[in-house]
């Protein structure tokens, strides 16, 4: 019997910041103190507060240590694990809560107070490589209940009644998708879309790293509901930790008889295979993904027929993303009413977001549908750093749009986001401050779409390239009257005529920024000025002679020799030589240099 458990994050974020080294230091110190039989070390999935990794939590106290380094481990072992005195100065003190005392548990922090973890319920709680820990948290109980107590139609009815909508982007009702695939057929498939390609998105990756069995169990439930005996998980090869844990989980589930033949002695057969994607963004579109699994170049197919009728290898197929599956077992165990009690009338349950950009608490959050954007940014996210003002939030990645500060109180759900010109997407949420240029942001996302276009249809292949050409001219100070109207016309045509959902939503970042930040486009075109000072071709870096102390440091650091002057006298910048690299801005200690 262990008297203490130490949970260390082993997700991608904390691993990259050194959690493996922290674990090794902890094991060495426990051995040195003779505590290996008293303290259990567990490597878990993502806790959510990625900005504070490596994270370590000590139970039963629940002490939350953040940014832990190997050098701090001896003190933590000596004081906390040996003498029972938590090291207060190393425990995370929530700066948002305004408390003078360190947070005593995760739930005490402002980051977690407004969250409701359903899809992420096991992430940061269990060892994802130990099936027994998943089972101890009622794992595979839902599958057993479905196979022994429910008919396939009753399972679908529960999912329908819950109001669960697909978490991969469009928000199509999951139960209806399953229902479409129930027509008799000799062979059917269940597919998990784990090809998460949006810039800044890591929701699905974190679920796979922290709770892989939740996806396997849900896929088996879906297989039972539609009459399929085979499943595929399509995961991008850039997720090595997720791939490793999925392989371990599949092997463990087979060993326990939870995948394979005659599951729970009911005669139901279901097994799962992995397929690794090569990183093509278009393979996140379901028909392109199915084409890739079949061994062909990942290109979308015309719909109809939809995958539920003719999908993988031409057979009826149910395809959902990771987060959608992560909710299924909890709905079966707790009932559809429980799930439907969270969220809004048309958007039930919770949604996981990857919160990034100009925000204090970057990380993974799960909130009830309908939570105001303000709550996510100011309370959970901790607000904008460095005293800057919130300007906009980008949701839905390259397929989404930008929400301006004037709409910060918008409830975040499927319908509200679409109404204001954005979309839920898979769950990326990038926060921007006053230093971000919205024209440049639109250009960034369109560059991504153009580079990732499969090229199959003309509207996407040529139309997005033409839009990017116009945006590039505008950010270089070569914009012309009528460019805004051309962008709107092209965007609407692409939305109406592109073959797949990715092409149809590609213009959204441009159209939404024009809708809410048209004045910035006009400043670029008419005044040849970037209001945020972000577009290098339009930026002008100047030295305020009243603030300049003549220290000459900026002149010494300038890589092109554009700054000159005499010691103890104001320096000047030769605009013809300046390349707007920003080195002088970072160098000046007196705030004398600014970019406009």
Tens-place pLDDT, residues 445-487: 999 999 988 888 999 999 999 999 999 999 999 999 999 999 9
Domain limits at 181? Answer: 131-340
pLDDT score at 280: 86
- For residues 47 and 106, is the Cβ–Cβ distance under 8 A? yes
pLDDT score at 103: 57
Mean pLDDT, the chain, rounded, equals: 92
Tens-place pLDDT, residues 430-450: 999 999 999 999 999 999 999
Q: Residue 559 is part of a domain; what is its CATH number? A: 3.30.70.20
> Are 251 and 166 contained in the same domain?
yes
| Residue bearing the bigger pLDDT, 198 or 264 | 264
Task: Tell whether 121 is covered by a domain.
Answer: no
Q: How confident is the model at residue 594 (pLDDT cuts 50, 70, 90)?
A: confident
pLDDT score at 101: 63
Query: Once rounded to an integer, what is the mean pLDDT over residues 353-368?
Result: 94
> Are 70 and 182 contained in the same domain?
no
| Residue bearing the bigger pLDDT, 191 or 97 | 191
pLDDT score at 34: 93
Task: Tell whether 264 is covered by a domain.
Answer: yes
Query: Once rounded to an integer, what is the mean pLDDT over residues 248-259?
Result: 98
Tens-place pLDDT, residues 225-240: 999 999 999 999 999 9
Task: Tell whether 331 is covered by a domain.
Answer: yes
Which one of 340, 373, 402 terminates a domain? 340
Query: Over 60: is that where the pLDDT of 543 sits?
Result: yes
- If phi over 0 gives left and psi between -120 and 50 gives alpha, with beta otherwise, what is residue 528? left
Query: Over 60: is that where the pLDDT of 97 sits?
Result: no
446: number of CA atoms within 13 Å, CB side? 30
> Are 91 and 183 contained in the same domain?
no
Phi and psi (nearest 5°) for 248? -65, -45
Residue ranges of alpha helices (H) inside 256-321 are: 286-293
Tens-place pLDDT, residues 331-343: 999 999 999 999 9
Task: Tell whether 532 is covered by a domain.
Answer: no
Task: Tell whether 475 is covered by a domain.
Answer: yes
> Are 214 and 310 contained in the same domain?
yes
Please state the domain count of the chain: 5
> In percent, how much of the chain has pLDDT > 90?
79
Q: Residue 374 is part of a domain; what is its CATH number? A: 3.10.20.600
> Are 91 and 204 contained in the same domain?
no
> Are 38 and 175 contained in the same domain?
no
Query: How is residue 340 written in tokens?
Result: 């439907």
Q: Residue 109 is part of a domain; what is its CATH number? A: 3.40.30.10
| Residue bearing the bigger pLDDT, 397 or 151 | 151
> Are 152 and 83 contained in the same domain?
no
Task: Tell whether 533 is covered by a domain.
Answer: no
Cα 394 to Cα 201, 331, 363, 425, 476, distances in angstroms = 12, 30, 15, 10, 23
> In percent, how much of the chain has pLDDT > 70?
98
> Are 307 and 158 contained in the same domain?
yes
Which one of 433, 462, 482 terminates a domain? 433
Task: Tell whether 534 is covered by a domain.
Answer: no
Q: What is the DSSP string of 55-106?
A: -EEEETTTEEE-S--GGGHHHIIIIIIIT----GGGB---TTTT-SSPPSSG
The separation between the first and the last C-alpha atoms of the chain, rounded to the nearest angstrom, is 64
Query: How is residue 441 written in tokens?
Result: 């942001």
Cα 245 to Cα 58, 203, 215, 275, 330, distances in angstroms = 24, 16, 12, 14, 21
- Environment class of residue 40 by beta-carbon count within 10 Å: exposed (0-12), middle (13-18) or buried (19+)? middle
> Are 86 and 154 contained in the same domain?
no
> Are 415 and 479 contained in the same domain?
no
Residues in contact with 98: Cβ distance below 8 Å, sequence separation at least 6, in sequence order? none
Tens-place pLDDT, residues 62-87: 899 999 999 999 999 999 999 999 99
What are residue 8's DSSP bridge partners?
43, 56
Which one of 433, 466, 499 terminates a domain? 433
> Are 373 and 257 contained in the same domain?
no
Task: Tell whether 221 is covered by a domain.
Answer: yes
Tens-place pLDDT, residues 493-535: 999 999 988 889 899 999 999 999 999 999 999 999 999 888 8
> Are 365 and 327 contained in the same domain?
no
Beta-carbon neighbour count of residue 272 at 10 Å?
23
Three-state DSSP class for residue 430: strand
Q: How far apart are CA 174 and CA 166, in angstroms?
A: 6
pLDDT score at 452: 87
pLDDT score at 533: 84
Tens-place pLDDT, residues 256-291: 999 999 999 999 999 999 999 988 888 888 999 999
């Amino acid at each position: 019997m262990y008297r203490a458990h130490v949970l260390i994050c082993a997700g991608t974020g904390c691993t990259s910041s050194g959690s493996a080294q922290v674990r090794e230091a902890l094991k060495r110190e426990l051995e040195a103190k003779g505590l290996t039989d008293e303290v259990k070390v567990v490597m878990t999935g993502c806790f959510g507060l990625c900005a504070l990794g490596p994270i370590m939590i000590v139970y039963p106290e629940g002490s939350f240590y953040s940014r832990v380094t190997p050098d701090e481990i001896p003190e933590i072992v000596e004081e906390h694990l040996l003498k029972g005195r938590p090291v207060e100065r190393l425990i995370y003190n929530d700066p948002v809560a305004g408390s003078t005392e360190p947070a005593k548990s995760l739930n005490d922090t402002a980051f977690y107070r407004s969250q409701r973890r359903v899809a992420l319920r096991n992430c940061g709680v269990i060892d994802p490589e130990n099936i027994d820990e998943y089972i101890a948290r009622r794992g595979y109980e839902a599958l057993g209940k479905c196979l022994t107590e429910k008919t396939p139609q009753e399972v679908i009815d529960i999912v329908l009644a819950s109001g669960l909508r697909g978490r991969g982007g469009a928000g199509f009702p999951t139960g209806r998708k399953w229902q479409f695939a129930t027509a008799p057929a000799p062979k059917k498939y269940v597919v998990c879309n784990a090809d998460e390609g949006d810039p800044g998105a890591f929701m699905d990756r974190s679920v796979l790293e922290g709770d892989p069995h939740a996806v396997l169990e849900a896929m088996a439930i879906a297989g039972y509901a539609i009459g399929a005996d085979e499943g595929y998980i399509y995961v991008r090869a850039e997720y090595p930790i997720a791939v490793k844990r999925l392989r371990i989980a599949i092997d463990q589930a087979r060993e326990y008889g939870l995948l394979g033949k005659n599951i729970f002695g009911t005669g139901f057969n279901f097994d799962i295979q992995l397929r690794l994607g090569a990183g093509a963004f278009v393979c996140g579109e379901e028909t392109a993904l199915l084409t890739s699994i079949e061994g062909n170049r990942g290109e979308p197919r015309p719909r109809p027929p939809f995958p539920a009728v003719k999908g993988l290898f031409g057979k009826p197929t149910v395809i959902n993303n990771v987060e959608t599956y992560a909710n299924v077992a909890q709905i079966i165990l707790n009932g559809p009413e429980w799930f439907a009690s969270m969220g809004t009338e048309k958007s039930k349950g919770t949604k996981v977001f990857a919160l990034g950009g100009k925000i204090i608490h970057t990380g993974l959050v799960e909130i009830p549908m309908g939570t105001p954007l303000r709550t996510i940014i100011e309370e959970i996210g901790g607000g904008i750093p460095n005293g800057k003002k919130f300007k906009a939030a980008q949701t839905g990645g390259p397929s989404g749009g930008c929400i301006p500060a004037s709409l910060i109180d918008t409830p975040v759900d499927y319908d509200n986001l679409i109404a204001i010109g954005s979309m839920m997407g898979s769950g990326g949420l990038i926060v921007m401050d006053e230093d971000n240029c919205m024209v440049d942001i639109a250009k960034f996302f369109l560059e991504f779409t153009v580079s990732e276009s499969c090229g199959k249809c003309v509207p996407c292949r040529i139309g997005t390239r033409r839009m990017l050409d116009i945006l590039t001219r505008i950010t270089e100070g070569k914009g012309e009257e009528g460019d805004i109207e051309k962008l709107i016309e092209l965007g609407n045509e692409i939305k109406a005529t592109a073959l797949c959902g990715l092409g149809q939503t590609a213009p959204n970042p441009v159209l939404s920024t024009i809708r809410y930040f048209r004045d910035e486009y006009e400043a670029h075109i008419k005044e040849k000025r970037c209001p945020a000072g972000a577009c290098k071709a339009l930026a002008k870096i100047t030295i305020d002679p009243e603030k300049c102390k003549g220290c000459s440091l900026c002149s010494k650091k300038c890589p092109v020799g554009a700054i000159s002057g005499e010691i103890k006298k104001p320096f000047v910048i030769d605009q013809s030589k300046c390349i707007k690299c920003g080195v002088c801005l970072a160098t000046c200690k007196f705030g004398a240099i600014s970019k406009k």
